[in-house]
Amino acid sequence: MFDSLIVGCGMAGAVVARELAERANKKVLVLEMRNHIAGNAFDLLDKDGIFIHQYGPHIFHTNHQRVFDYLTRFTAWRDYQHEVVAAIYGSLMPVPFNLNSLYLAYDGDKAARVEQKLIAAFGMGTKIPILELRRQTDPELEELADYIYRNIFLYYTQKQWGLAPEEIDPSVTERVPVFISYDNRYFQDTHQGIPAEGYTALFRNMLDHPNIELRLDTDARQVLRLESGQVFFEGRPFQGTIVYSGSIDELYDCRFGRLPYRTLDFVFETPALTWFQPKGTVNYTVDQDFTRITEFKHLTGQEKEGITTIVKEYPRSYTGTESETPYYPIENPENRALYNRYKSLTEEIPQLYLLGRLAEYQYYNMDVIAKKALELADTLVSHAQNGSQE
Ligand code: FAD
Ligand code: UDP
């Protein structure tokens, strides 16, 4: 009855579903264990009528023209350039740490001198990972690196990962490099914004195709069985393509042990204020148990007097209980080796493709997932076309 099964209705699953349905004319069944579409990008009106992102702030940003053009088929965009400040002992400093931050951290003369040193060492407009800046030998650059490390990275990273910055994969802190620039934006990508009607509406449009059937509240593990290189769907052998975007360890009942993740508790509050804070996100880098507060009206552009909704993010270890969601893979050689053990089990099932943040155990942004989903779809569509010519 179905040609393809897609597990998970986040960015990975929804893009591949649409592509297979549209370009390869496949009958596609999407299985989603949550009671909604859009994965972690899900957004909705809260009980007070404020538009929120249920799983934390999602800002779309990309340099991939194909991805932007593709998603633009399904949504218009609100132009939103995200800015983040760190709350440091009562003052608010732009993050990533940039030249504006430098003039807030130091008095004018010293800031001007250090600015010249940064420009001489790295050049205007460059981005320097904090761990690289810490290797500088000039005493004033060393001192600056130490300031940024202590005030921006150390405590936030300890909260987020339970580890110090030098104990996590360098790619994580490289996401927020020191920026030799007066540009206060969090991202510099060519395209940035928020879907004008929200992410859920974008996904709804993407899934709106006669060849796509969606089953919510359906854990794939209840209907799919992998056995000696064969796939069974609802008890019967299934020969079609399966794109799986859930956690790979769960596909195999965690037989080698659980892949470690960080999870978050989101605590929403709706104060009787028109605005709670001056920017979309304020990072708490030297105090508090939560990492950041996001105020959604900045992101969505919603206008509402006298009321606003914010979310605080409290990170902790993922233990695998049902109420928890694995959000962040923890990249290190040991975890990658465990991941690879699971992945090797899938090799006996060539019709099974792993795609997404969970299935690939990679700290991806939405646009990278969309790009990879389009590329996987290219391959599958071309298989289908070659197959039908034979
Ligand atoms: P998901 O969105 O997680 O979708 C996977 C889906 O599969 C889920 O809906 C899950 O319920 C379902 N599923 C899992 N197992 C099963 C199963 N057994 N059966 C059925 N269904 C199953 N990216 C950005 O580009 N910009 C941002 O600002 C940004 N902010 C983020 C903030 C937070 C707090 C987090 C956690 C992530 C953020 N991301 C952001 C990343 C973004 O959420 C991911 O890139 C994106 O969700 C990845 O899409 P995905 O389809 O791989 O995964
Ligand atoms: N980070 C930090 N302080 C900040 C912002 C980021 O220490 O003010 C570090 C922290 O380790 C975080 C990583 O940089 O996990 C990546 O930050 P990003 O904002 O990209 O995280 P995400 O939005 O994906 O949670």
For residue 12 and ligand 1, the question of a CB distance below 6 A is answered with yes
Q: Residue 160 C-alpha to ligand 2 middle, in angstroms?
A: 8
pLDDT at 195: 98
Q: Which ligand is nearest to the CA of 40?
A: 1
For residue 363, which atom of ligand 2 is closest to its CA?
Answer: 24
For residue 360, which atom of ligand 1 is closest to its CA?
Answer: 52
Question: Ligand 2 test: best mutation among 88, 127, 158, 172, most atoms within 8 Å of CB?
Answer: 172
Angle at 375 between CA 355 and CA 31, to 5 degrees: 40
For residue 56 and ligand 1, the question of a CB distance below 6 A is answered with yes
HSE (CB half, 13 Å, CA atoms) of 23? 18
Handedness of CA 316, 39, 193, 302 (dihedral sign): negative
Q: Residue 284 C-alpha to ligand 2 middle, in angstroms?
A: 11
- What are the residue boundaries of the structural domains of the chain, listed by start? 4-48+67-76+196-258+329-386, 96-179
- CB burial of residue 264 (10 Å; 0-12, 13-18, 19+): buried
Q: Which ligand is nearest to the CA of 88?
A: 2
In order along its 390 residues, the chain shows pLDDT tens digits of 899 999 999 999 999 999 999 999 999 999 999 999 999 999 999 999 999 999 999 999 999 999 999 999 999 999 999 999 999 998 999 999 999 999 999 999 999 999 999 999 999 999 999 999 999 999 999 999 999 999 999 999 999 999 999 999 999 999 999 999 999 999 999 999 999 999 999 999 999 999 999 999 999 999 999 998 999 999 999 999 999 999 999 999 999 999 999 999 999 999 999 999 999 999 999 999 999 999 999 999 999 999 999 999 999 999 999 999 999 999 999 999 999 999 999 999 999 999 999 999 999 999 999 999 999 999 999 998 888 543
pLDDT at 388: 56
CATH topology (fold) of 4-48+67-76+196-258+329-386: Rossmann fold (3.40.50)
Q: Residue 326 C-alpha to ligand 1 middle, in angstroms?
A: 9
Q: Residue 317 C-alpha to ligand 1 middle, in angstroms?
A: 17
DSSP state of 348: T
